[in-house]
Amino acid sequence: MNLQGIFHQPKSNYCFAYDKNNIELRLRAAKGDLTKVSLIYGDKYDWENAIEVEMERSFSDSLYDYFIVTIKAPSNRLAYYFVLESGEEKRYFTEWGPLKSVDKDEIHLHFFNYPYVNEADIHKVPDWVKDSVFYQIFPERFANGDPSISPKEVEIWGGKPERGNFFGGDLKGIIEKIDYLEELGVNAIYLTPIFESTTSHKYNTIDYMKIDPHFGDKETLKELVSKCHQKGIKVVLDAVFNHCGHDFAGFKDVIEKGKKSPYYDWFYINEWPIKIKEVRNNPLKDESDDQPSSYETFGFEPAMPKLNTANKAVKKYILDVAKYWIKECDIDGWRLDVANEVDHEFWKDFRKAVKETKEDAYILGEIWHDALPWLRGDQFDGSMNYPVTRACLQYFAYEKMEAEGFRDLISNTLMRNTRQVNEVMLNLLDSHDTARFLTECKGDAQKLLLADTFLLTFVGTLSIYYGTEIGMKGENDPDCRRTMEWNRDKWNMDLFNAYKDLIHIRLESEALRRGSFKWIEELKDVVGYIRETEKEKVIVLINNSDNIKNVKVKVKANGYLDLLDKENVDIENNEISIIMDKYKSKILRVL
C-alpha cells in the first residue's frame, strides 16, 4: 500500500458541509493502489452506534484516485476514520495516520472530527448562478448607442484595436442589444469596468462613484439593469479594488502634498516626491521599460497605483462603493479584478458587506490558479476557472493530449474545490485578457464548438466572450478586444445557431445545470460523462479526433431522447450504440 499517497483533511475541500443535511467526504490515494475504502462514522458521544459505508472511487487524475461519499452527520456532530484495503493489506486511517489496527478504547483520541455542522459555517452560494449562462461584454467595443457621448477621437467601427484607441461603445448600445442577448439565450451578463477612466478598458479608475461619461451615467445603468431584469437577465459588474488610476483624486493629492495628504497611506509609497516621469498621461499607449520605484502598482504599470486595502479609510470607501451600486442600481454581483493580490481580511469584510446588502449577490474572483484559499465560504462564491480553460486549450485547440489526459486535468480541478463552489465556478474559453479560442484553434470552428459543448454540459456556469458565438477571432490583448460585428452576413451562422441550441439544451435540462458528474470510464479515446439528477440522466459524448468512433455505453434505459442529432444512435438491451463522426458530439437524455 502506498501510504505516502493517502491524504485527508477535515473542514476543507476534503470534508465539507454541502448543506445542513449533507457532508461530503473525500479521500485521496495513489492511483490504482486501493481496492476498497470504507468510512466508519458516528456521533462522538454515541460511538457504539457508528456506521460503516463504502466510498466510491469517483475521480482520478494522473497521480491519484479520489474516493467520495456523502452522508448525514448524526446529531450534527461527526467523528470518523477510514478503512483502506489494497488486496489483502488493510490499514485504518485516522488523525494519527494509517495504522495497522485501532483500539476502541482510545479511538476517541484520534478519529477525524467535524465537530458540529454550524449553519453559519456552510458556504452558501447564489442559487441562480447554477442556472445561468453568462455573456461577457467589453462595453467600449460592443455597441455604440449614443454617438453624442463618444470620445472625440473615435475610430471607425470595425477598425484595428490598439491599446490607446476608442470606438465609442457604451451602455446605451448594450441596452439596444438586449433583444440579441435574449435571442442567443443567455441569462446573465458580466461587464468589464464601466466607471470613469482615461482608457478604453477602464481598469485605471478615476472615480468609483461615477459611470464613465463616454458610457453614460447612473440613470443609464439603472435602465440597463432594469431592462435586463425584465428579460430575466442578471447583471454583474467588474470591481477594480486592487488598484486605481493615477488620476484618482486621492493619488493626485499624494503627488502634490506627500505625507501631508490624508490619502498618503491609501497607497504603498516608497519615496516622495513621486517621480512625475513615472506618471505618464497615456502610459498604456506609449509603453516604456521604466518600472515605477516611487510607489507600488498593478504589475509595473505606473498608471495603476496599488491601493492599501488594509487601511481603514480605504476599506470603508471601497465597501461603500460595493454597497452603493447594489442599492442604487440593483446589480447582481461583482467580478473582482486581480483578486489574489488583495488581503484576505479585506475580502472577508467585503463578503459580509455585499451579502448583507443583497444576499444572493454573486462574488466572483479573478484568480488564474488554484483559488481554494479564497473559496472556503468566507470570501468569494467562485472564481474564473482558467485551469479548465487551459485543459480545453490543450485538448481541443492544440490537441496536445489524449482524452485520458484531459479527463485527468478536469478531475484535478474538480477536486480542488467543494461541490458548491464547483457549481458556481465561471468556466470560460476566452476573455478580454486572452486570445480568442477560435484563433487558438487556427480558425477551426468545429473545435471551438466541441469545447463549448463540453463547458455547456459541464459543472459550473459558462461565460461566453462577446462575439465568440458568431466566429470572431483575435490574438492577445489588444487584438482580442475588437468591435462586435453586427453585420449578420459576416457571421458564422452555423456556429451561432449551434450556440443557441446548446444554450437552450442546458437551460432546459436540470441534469446539465444541477446534476452530478461522472466520467464513463470504459471509454478511452472518446470523452464521455453522465450528468444526473433524480429526475433526469444525460449522457454527453465528445469525439475530438479525425477518426470515426464506434461507441457503446451500457446504461439502464428503456429508450432515449436525443437532444441534438438523432442519427447513428441505437439502443438495445440497456446498451446504447453510437457512431461518432470525427470532431462531433452527442448529447443524449436517457429515459
Q: Span 127-242+309-508: which CATH code?
A: 3.20.20.80
What superfamily does domain 3-121 belong to in CATH? Immunoglobulins (2.60.40.10)
Q: What is the mean pLDDT of residues 373-391?
A: 97
pLDDT tens sequence across 231-250: 999 999 999 999 999 999 99
Choose the catalytic residue: 278, 366, 408, 452.
366
> How many angstroms separate the CA atoms of 475 and 439, rounded?
7
Model confidence at 96: pLDDT above 50: yes
Choose the catalytic residue: 65, 238, 337, 532.
337
- Model confidence, pTM: 0.95
Q: What is the CA radius of gyration of the chain?
A: 26
Q: What is the mean pLDDT of residues 532-544?
A: 93
All CATH 2.60.40.1180 domain ranges of the chain, comma separated, are: 514-590
Model confidence at 284: pLDDT above 50: no
Lowest mean pLDDT among 134-138, 550-554, 556-560: 556-560
Model confidence at 283: pLDDT above 60: no
Model confidence at 287: pLDDT above 50: no
Model confidence at 279: pLDDT above 80: no
Q: Span 243-308: which CATH code?
A: 3.90.400.10
- Give the chain's mean pLDDT: 94
pLDDT tens sequence across 335-366: 999 999 999 999 999 999 999 999 999 999 99
Catalytic-residue membership of 525: no
Q: What is the mean pLDDT of residues 48-59?
A: 97
CB 510 within 8 A of CB 535: yes
> How many angstroms separate the CA atoms of 116 and 75, rounded?
9
pLDDT tens sequence across 136-172: 999 999 999 999 999 999 999 999 999 889 999 999 9
Model confidence at 264: pLDDT above 80: yes
Model confidence at 93: pLDDT above 90: yes
Confidence band of 208 (pLDDT split at 50, 70, 90) = very high
Q: What is the mean pLDDT of residues 25-48?
A: 97
Model pLDDT, residue 365: 98
Catalogue the long-range contacts made by 559-563 (C-beta closer than 8 Å, 24 or more residues apart): 559/590, 559/591, 560/588, 560/589, 560/590, 560/591, 561/588, 561/589, 561/591, 562/586, 562/587, 562/588, 562/589, 563/505, 563/509, 563/538, 563/587, 563/588, 563/589
Confidence band of 568 (pLDDT split at 50, 70, 90) = confident
Topology (CATH level 3) of domain 514-590: Immunoglobulin-like (2.60.40)
Where do we find the cell 485521496?
28
Model confidence at 286: pLDDT above 60: no
Model confidence at 496: pLDDT above 70: yes
All CATH 3.90.400.10 domain ranges of the chain, comma separated, are: 243-308
All CATH 3.20.20.80 domain ranges of the chain, comma separated, are: 127-242+309-508
pLDDT tens sequence across 385-400: 999 999 999 999 999 9
Model pLDDT, residue 276: 64
Catalytic-residue membership of 52: no
